[in-house]
Amino acid sequence: MAQHMTTAALESLEIEVRALLESDNLEGVRKLLNKQQPPDIADVLDRLESKDRARVFELLTLDQAAEALHEMGTETIRKVFADMPKEKVGDLLDLMAMDDAAEILTQDVPERQQELLTEMQPADAAEVRDLLKYPAQSAGRLMTEKFVRIRPEMTVEETIAHLRKVDPEVETLTDLYVLNPEKQLIGVVSLREVITAPSERRLQDIMTTQLVTVPPEMDREEVARLVSRYDFLAIPVVAPDKAMLGIITVDDIIHVLVEEQTEDAMKFAAVEGGMINQPYFTISIRKVIRTRIGWLLLLFLAETLTGSVLRVFEAELEAVVALSFFIPLLIGTGGNTGAQTVSTIIRGIALKDIRLQDSWRVIRRELGSGLLIGLLLGIVAFLRTVLWGSDLRFCLVIALTILVICTWANTVGSIIPLVAQRLKIDPAVVSAPLITTLVDATGLAIYMLIAKAILGI
Amino acid sequence: MAQHMTTAALESLEIEVRALLESDNLEGVRKLLNKQQPPDIADVLDRLESKDRARVFELLTLDQAAEALHEMGTETIRKVFADMPKEKVGDLLDLMAMDDAAEILTQDVPERQQELLTEMQPADAAEVRDLLKYPAQSAGRLMTEKFVRIRPEMTVEETIAHLRKVDPEVETLTDLYVLNPEKQLIGVVSLREVITAPSERRLQDIMTTQLVTVPPEMDREEVARLVSRYDFLAIPVVAPDKAMLGIITVDDIIHVLVEEQTEDAMKFAAVEGGMINQPYFTISIRKVIRTRIGWLLLLFLAETLTGSVLRVFEAELEAVVALSFFIPLLIGTGGNTGAQTVSTIIRGIALKDIRLQDSWRVIRRELGSGLLIGLLLGIVAFLRTVLWGSDLRFCLVIALTILVICTWANTVGSIIPLVAQRLKIDPAVVSAPLITTLVDATGLAIYMLIAKAILGI
């Protein structure tokens, strides 16, 4: 019984392939890969060097190659395509699901899109062109036209006979879609309902007419939330005139969820998008720098504000040098508190727990918890600085600053995502790093003003 | 045609329910909720106040209530259960999928687990007890025993006849599982293959025997990765003796992905777990503080290290007060650079792009890109401080510190997740905040040493 691939198993598969290549045993490689699943074949190809990759790719059957292609990283796909006559690339694309082919043509080899479309079968190329009419990242791009179409007057028996002849490319048989002569979707019936109904029943009598559908322009992340919220295995895409355009299957939804997860995690750490579908080692250092330097520069320039704030208080810092010892501690605590709040609010917005009407409730709540957290941390800070042997008034400065900074960071950390939501900007983009910078500069001003007042400098 | 619920539609559903409750029109509420999907009903219940919630819950049919229950937040479930005779709670649990019932009994009302199990039907309670034998967060906890069992010698015709009589509670008919008399899994056949095969063919001749299965102890996150990697709709869970224990369906997998995503985002922002399945407003402030204060305290205490480092250089800071102006800028840049690297490496490990054997390659790569980023930012920092009118030697101190800190932060940011991976600790836990603290203290020491050397103080 074949087991799935653990990381260790993937490592040893790679080592085995390399050893067989070393000894020029190409037949051994072919036999070994024949037993593997497409994502694991893709994984090996992603990790081989150019020359070996071309040799291994040659060994795959067209079907295997087409299935592995969709799972490969952008750089690997580009190189594999470059090494191949374009007629063969066309054949490979023809064998793929058309939504996957469309994704490769826009995401991985955009500059060869037109050229490769002309190498595909006219019907397939037409389907891809249809998909490409919809905006990037939209429901339309994820659709497949390969679903089961049934007429409402068909009986269960006729339906089962029809299913036996259905195009083997049809991706899923779980749900059957009932269309009227105008190709509008009027009902859905599950294969299970068909199987368990009496054979002379008509589909119009057993189909569900309470339908959940999406328009082709809907953002794919929204579609993913919908499918995961309602536990669908597929969701129909319907035009404004109710004409049925296609379905989106749950496997595409899972890919969207995983990709968006990567994108969000990267955004949160201020790494720019565009790294999706690119395994770590396949990205050139040049591209790495490009995706990282923009945000770092912006944050660097924003953070110079802290220098300007401190300059204003040069006299105070000169008078009590010990004030500078606490700068990293105070702004660090503000940053951490703010980051917690931002993450909580962003998730709440994403899961629809927090809505526009809730803004004031959210701000009041975060202000309250910021005050409590500030109080607790302030007490700890007071004791810690007393232990350090600092002057009591100085300890009071630190404790009070912690209290105010935590309250402030929590409030700012809730306001910024809420404002982003209202302006329809992705809250994850205006995320933690930006808030940190903002809280840093204001936090320092708060610190210095409190110190001035209490220490009388 | 019913449209799905946008955030705005959810808001207006809530407002409509509240208005009907206000005018005591309970029949109106019942009619309105009858048209809604379970997650949307759960959403309304999560947001109502206790008294109204009890009134609305009363209006639901047992089936509706059981379906909505699984989607409700922990606090809502606890209050609904507390307001109800325990016999009725037992009835509700009996109507749910047993993996969902088990989740509620362990996650939402753990202290009433034994009491409520005795209120359930003996067969259902026994199934829940079976599930609870497996570790929390394991594959075993997600299983359902409601799958279609087929014998290998059955013909296609017999199979279809069998399917017509199958328990309506069986969750999915997509795949049929072929068991030998010892209840061991020997093959899988899709309903599609059954439908399209000649009626006298035996299942043993059309079934797939190349099976991907998981053991019941496997971590649920690992199962989710597997299912999303290979595009399965369900995966069989098999004991070491190959006895088939149950299946995990893709809807559970999606829930795991979404929950783990929440958990990871929270971990990254140093918020402790245990907030899963708890809509924002249902969490008490006390609990909010509890989940946040632990990490904040730990980070606060770790960050006091920066104070100790700066104290060592009191004389230098006294001699050149301007040195303190750049403290937030320098440690901020180090923190941002480190956070980018950590996120990249954590994702690479999660997606299996980065494996144990790759450690040195990763560190070399990150050291290199850190050096390049440091060089670019260093040049900008030099120009920025020159513009500010600082002394040229001082500008050099800042630029050089940026160069060294970026390289250092990138290296530390790659080493820490790799070490965590080797020690089998979740890399997301030892994440950005911890690294920031570490990079902060060492970064300050680097800064002061460079200043001392170049400025000769």
Percent of chain B with pLDDT over 90: 53
Q: Cβ of B4 under 8 Å from any chain A Cβ?
A: yes
Q: What is the largest CA-CA distance in chain B?
A: 95
- The answer on pLDDT for A3 being more than 60 is no
Of B254, B295, B310, the CB nearest to A325: B310
Mutate to test the interface with B, among A100, A150, A352, A447 (most CBs of B within 10 A): A352
> Which positions in chain A touch B321 (Cβ < 8 Å)?
314, 317-318, 321
Question: Chain B partners of A35 at a C-beta cutoff of 8 Å?
Answer: 210
What is the C-alpha separation between B337 and A306, in angstroms, rounded? 18
Contact: A303, B10; criterion CB under 8 Å = no
Nearest-CB residue to B432 (from A269, A342, A377): A269
DSSP H/E element including B236: strand B234-238
Q: Which residue has the higher pLDDT, B267 or A127?
A: A127
Amino acid residing at A198: P
Least confident of A337-341, B92-96, B363-367: A337-341
Chain B contact set for A176 (CB, 8 A): none
CB interface of B with A, residues 161-180, below 8 Å = 163-164, 166, 173-174
Contact (Cβ atoms closer than 8 angstroms) between residue A154 and residue A162: yes
Contact (CB, 8 A) for A122 and A140 = no
Averaged pLDDT, B68-84 = 90
Residues 6+ apart with CB under 8 A from B102: B128, B131, B132, B141
pLDDT band at B171 (very low <50, low <70, confident <90, very high): low
Whether ipTM exceeds 0.85? no
> Is beta strand B175-179 parallel, antiparallel or unpaired with respect to B149-150?
parallel
Cβ-Cβ contacts under 8 Å for B25 (sequence gap 6 or more)? none
Runs of H (alpha helix) within A23-155: 26-34, 38-47, 50-59, 62-69, 74-82, 86-95, 98-103, 113-117, 122-132
- Distance (Å) from the C-alpha of residue A165 to the closest C-alpha of chain B? 7
The lowest-confidence range among B266-280, B332-346, B357-371, B404-418 is: B266-280
Q: Residue A2 above 50 pLDDT?
A: no
pLDDT tens digits for range A316-339 = 999 999 999 999 999 989 988 998
Mean pLDDT computed over A292-313: 89
Cα–Cα distance for residue pair B71/B8, rounded to 1 Å: 19
* Domains assigned to chain B: 7-142 (1.25.60.10), 149-257 (3.10.580.10), 284-455 (1.10.357.20)
How many residue pairs bridge chain A and chain B with CB atoms within 8 Å of each other? 353
A56: left (phi over 0), alpha (psi -120 to 50) or beta: alpha
Picking from A336, A282, A299, A362, the residue whose alpha carbon sits closest to that of residue A71 is A282
Report the alpha-carbon distance of residue B162 to residue B436 in Å, rounded. Answer: 61
Q: Is the pLDDT of residue B163 over 60?
A: yes
Total residues found in chain A within this entry: 457
Between the alpha carbon of residue A416 and those of residues A126, A181, A371, A425, A434, the distances in Å are: 45, 51, 18, 11, 10
pLDDT per residue as tens digits for the range B195-235:
888 889 999 999 988 888 999 999 998 899 888 888 888 99
B329/A3 touch (CB, cutoff 8 Å), yes or no: no
Q: What does the alpha-carbon distance between residue A429 and residue A185 come to, in Å, rounded to a whole number?
A: 38
pLDDT of residue A388: 82
Closest CA–CA distance from residue B115 to any residue of chain A (Å): 30
Report, as an integer, the average pLDDT of A2-16. Answer: 72
Asked if the C-beta of A51 comes within 8 angstroms of chain B's C-beta atoms, the answer is no
B126–chain A Cβ distance below 8 A for any pair:
no
Matching residue, tokens 């299983």: B143
Could you tell me the pLDDT band of residue B3, with boundaries at 50, 70 and 90?
very low
Rounded to 5 degrees, what are φ and ψ at A187?
-170, 165
Q: Which residue has the higher pLDDT, B73 or A432?
A: B73
User: What is the mean predicted confidence (pLDDT) over B357-372?
Assistant: 93
Higher pLDDT, B247 or A295: B247
Question: What contacts A254, CB < 8 A, 6 or more positions away?
Answer: B227, B228, B231, B250, B253, B254, B257
Cβ contact, residue pair A373, B317, below 8 Å: no
3-state secondary structure chain A: CCECCCHHHHHHHHHHHHHHHHCCCHHHHHHHHHCCCHHHHHHHHHHCCHHHHHHHHHHCCHHHHHHHHCCCCHHHHHHHHHCCCHHHHHHHHHHCCHHHHHHHHHHHCHHHHHHHHCCCCHHHHHHHHHHHCCCCCEHHHHCECCCCEECCCCEHHHHHHHHHCCCCCCCCCCEEEEECCCCEEEEEEEHHHHHHCCCCCEHHHHCECCCCEECCCCEHHHHHHHHHHHCCCEEEEECCCCEEEEEEEHHHHHHHHHHHHHHHHHHHCCCCCCCCCCCHHHCCHHHHHHHHHHHHHHHHHHHHHHHHHHHHCHHHHHHCCHHHHCHHHHHHHHHHHHHHHHHHHHHHHHCCCCCHHHHHHHHHHHHHHHHHHHHHHHHHHHHHHHHCCCCHHHHHHHHHHHHHHHHHHHHHHHHHHHHHHHCCCCCCCCCHHHHHHHHHHHHHHHHHHHHHHHHCC
Q: What is the pLDDT of residues A333-364, one digit of tens each?
A: 998 899 889 888 988 888 788 888 889 999 99
Distances (CA, A) of A46 to A6, A13, A68, B160, B352: 17, 13, 11, 43, 12
Give the integer Cα–Cα distance in Å for B266 and B275.
9
**What gap in Å lies between CA B143 and CA B215, rounded to an integer?**
11
Interchain CB distance below 8 Å, A266 and B344? yes
Greater confidence (B265 vs B257) lies with B257
Whether residues A352 and B437 touch (CB distance < 8 A) is answered with no
Which of A4, A254, A355 is the closest to B214 by Cβ? Answer: A4
Q: Which of B166, B340, B351 sits opposite A271 (nearest CB)?
A: B340
Read off the pLDDT of each residue in B422-435 and give the average, rounded to a whole number: 74
> What are the pLDDT digits (tens) for A76-85?
899 999 989 9
Q: What average pLDDT score do residues A149-156 get?
A: 93
> What is the structure's pLDDT at A172?
66
pLDDT score for B169: 66
> How sure is the predictor about A275, in pLDDT bands with cuts at 50, 70 and 90?
low
Cα-trace Rg, chain B = 29
Interface test with A, best of B46, B47, B296 (most A CBs within 10 A): B296
Identify the CA nearest to B330 among candidates B319, B322, B342.
B322
The per-residue pLDDT for A6 is 64
A159, amino acid identity: T
B266 in A contact zone (CB under 8 Å): yes
Between B428 and B414, the more confident residue is B414
| Residue A272 reports pLDDT greater than 50 | yes
Q: Mean pLDDT for chain B?
A: 88
| Residue labelled with tokens 């600790």 | B425
Q: What is the pTM of this model?
A: 0.80
The predicted model gives A34-56 an average pLDDT of 89
> Contact at 8 Å (CB) between A236 and A213?
yes
Quote the distance between the C-alpha of residue A270 and its chain's center.
14
pLDDT tens profile B297-327? 888 888 888 999 999 999 999 999 999 999 9
What would the DSSP string read from start to end of B180-217? -TT-BEEEEEEHHHHHHS-TT-BHHHH-B----BB-TT
Percent of chain A with pLDDT over 70: 94
The answer to whether B207 touches B147, Cβ cutoff 8 Å, is: no
Q: What is the 3-class SS of B57-84, one letter each residue?
A: HHHCCHHHHHHHHCCCCHHHHHHHHHCC
Residues of A in contact with B281 (CB under 8 A): 353-354, 358, 361, 365
Separation between Cα atoms, residue B63 and residue B33, nearest integer Å:
13
